[in-house]
Amino acid sequence: MTDSSNVTAIHERLDGRLVLPGEAGYDEARSVWNAMVDRRPRMVVRCASVGDVVAAVRTARELDLELGVRCGGHSIVGLAVPEEGLMVDLRPMGGVRVDPVRRRAWVQGGALLGALDREVQRYGLATTAGNVSHTGVGGLTLGGGMGWLARQYGLTCDNVVSFTMVTADGDVVRASRTENPELFWGLRGGGGNFGIVTEFEFRLHPVGTRALVAEYTFPLDRALPALRAWRDLNARAPRQATFTASVGGDGLVRAGFVWVGDPGQGRLLLPEMRALGRPVSERVAEPSYLELQRVDDSVQGHTSRRYWKGHYLGGFPDAAIEAFLRRGVAAGDAGLPSVSLQAYGGAIADVPDQDAAFSHRNTLFEYVCAARWSEPAEDRTRMGAARRAAAELEPYATGAYVNVLSDEGAEGVRRAYPPGKLARLTVLKNAFDPHNVFHLNHNIRPGRA
């Protein structure tokens, strides 16, 4: 039990702040991206230093409190927030330091993608980061990290040079190719299973500051041939281009690509895009790279109820295109989820499969089905519609992205990692967290590998 002497003890050890229920900042700290998540930790430790993270881990263990780790709060099902537990809120550790000459960035464990992008773009540099700037560097990198630069430079985790991590025993360790190399392997895709990362060291690339987005809109009944042609064109696309397609809640189909680099070169793809079919509209824009990275920030804002399902697709045969367009629609359905595809390949697939815990590098497209609504009374129907849409693509799925898992539990973890990788991750878990202190994640259970 937490009594006042325990609370005083941790309070006195902190550079940051302890926030208890009812105190200022408590509700803000426990609110995450998905508005369905309404859990009440017994205490929130707003960590301002590595020492605070150590103190928080030790306190959680001494008091036998379930431990949650929050960076951006974008876990689809709000795994960062423990009911009645201790939440480590890393956001006060949100700093980014850049060495433009060596092309390196040191990013604290609670930083958001926007902070990373902003600091490195001052020098025309970047590393792969996700598509919404209020996502956390922490969760995104540890699960893999897909973004508009991944086909050129690999996933976010492929660009990590070193990690600094607090273990379940409160020790501070480093992991790189030469220090704790097995931990370095596991932290690149294995999620938050092994400890709390307080600093990521990233490799940066000279990407410039410009981008191009092209999008063609088709009515549903004309979309099949267009998506076939889009799929075939993707196979020949330069690495600067990441192909995208979606069906919105409005039933309109959008296909196109995002380009990072010289927009003039990206425009060379437009004639072939225009030949995909007979679009009802064309949208071509030249945002700066920073604008591109924020384009979806408001539509992906924090106040909605959310449910996602995802698949990795190793191929996209015509039958899968038809299933993608059908979206599991049942008669009389309203409030359908949106479904989308983002192309993998390029530098993601160049990395040997055994190099990191991240799996399914041979993915052709990542599929995400995303439902968004506001009324709790609609929870069941909205989630049911999303499950039906994703079930249509299940026969074509070759795996899943751990960062897009929601409520799949152990079955989801088996989809994210093939058996050999899961066994290796289990051995690592046994070494670093045999008591499963870090279990509010897509959990690698300790035990027999």
Ligand X SMILES: Cc1cc2nc3c(=O)[nH]c(=O)nc-3n(C[C@H](O)[C@H](O)[C@H](O)COP(=O)(O)OP(=O)(O)OC[C@H]3O[C@@H](n4cnc5c(N)ncnc54)[C@H](O)[C@@H]3O)c2cc1C
Query: Which residues contact ligand X by CB under 6 A?
Result: 33, 69-76, 79-80, 90, 109, 130-132, 135-136, 138-140, 142-147, 191-192, 196-197, 300, 403-404, 440-441
Q: Which is nearer to ligand X, 218 or 432 (CB)?
A: 432
Task: Write the DSSP string, 249-300.
Answer: TTS-EEEEEEEES-HHHHHTTHHHHHTTS--SEEEEE--BHHHHTTTTTTTT
Nearest-approach distance from CB 118 to ligand X, in angstroms: 17
Q: Which is nearer to ligand X, 186 or 279 (CB)?
A: 186
Residue type, 123: Y
What distance in Å separates the CA atoms of residue 449 and residue 447, rounded to the nearest whole number?
Answer: 6
Q: What is the largest CA-CA distance in the chain?
A: 71
What distance in Å separates the CA atoms of residue 54 and residue 166, rounded to the nearest whole number?
Answer: 6
Token digits for 445? 């259970």
Q: Which is nearer to ligand X, 43 or 69 (CB)?
A: 69
CB 425 within 8 A of CB 193: yes
Per-residue buried b or exposed e for 397-429, using 16+ beta carbons within 10 Å of the residue's own CB = bbbbbbbbbbebeeebbebbbeeebbebbbebb
DSSP character at residue 101: T
Nearest-approach distance from CB 49 to ligand X, in angstroms: 14
What distance in Å separates the CA atoms of residue 439 and residue 448, rounded to the nearest whole number?
Answer: 17
Q: Which is nearer to ligand X, 197 or 253 (CB)?
A: 197
Nearest-approach distance from CB 43 to ligand X, in angstroms: 17
Q: Which is nearer to ligand X, 325 or 402 (CB)?
A: 402
Nearest-approach distance from CB 344 to ligand X, in angstroms: 11
Nearest-approach distance from CB 176 to ligand X, in angstroms: 16
Token digits for 377? 């009374």
Q: 257 — phi, psi (to 5°)?
A: -160, 160
Nearest-approach distance from CB 112 to ligand X, in angstroms: 8
Nearest-approach distance from CB 74 to ligand X, in angstroms: 3
Q: Which is nearer to ligand X, 83 or 318 (CB)?
A: 83
CB 29 within 8 A of CB 110: no
Q: Which is nearer to ligand X, 6 or 31 (CB)?
A: 31
Nearest-approach distance from CB 403 to ligand X, in angstroms: 4
Q: Which is nearer to ligand X, 134 or 424 (CB)?
A: 134
Q: Give the angle 51-54-58 at the CA atoms, nearest 5°.
A: 140
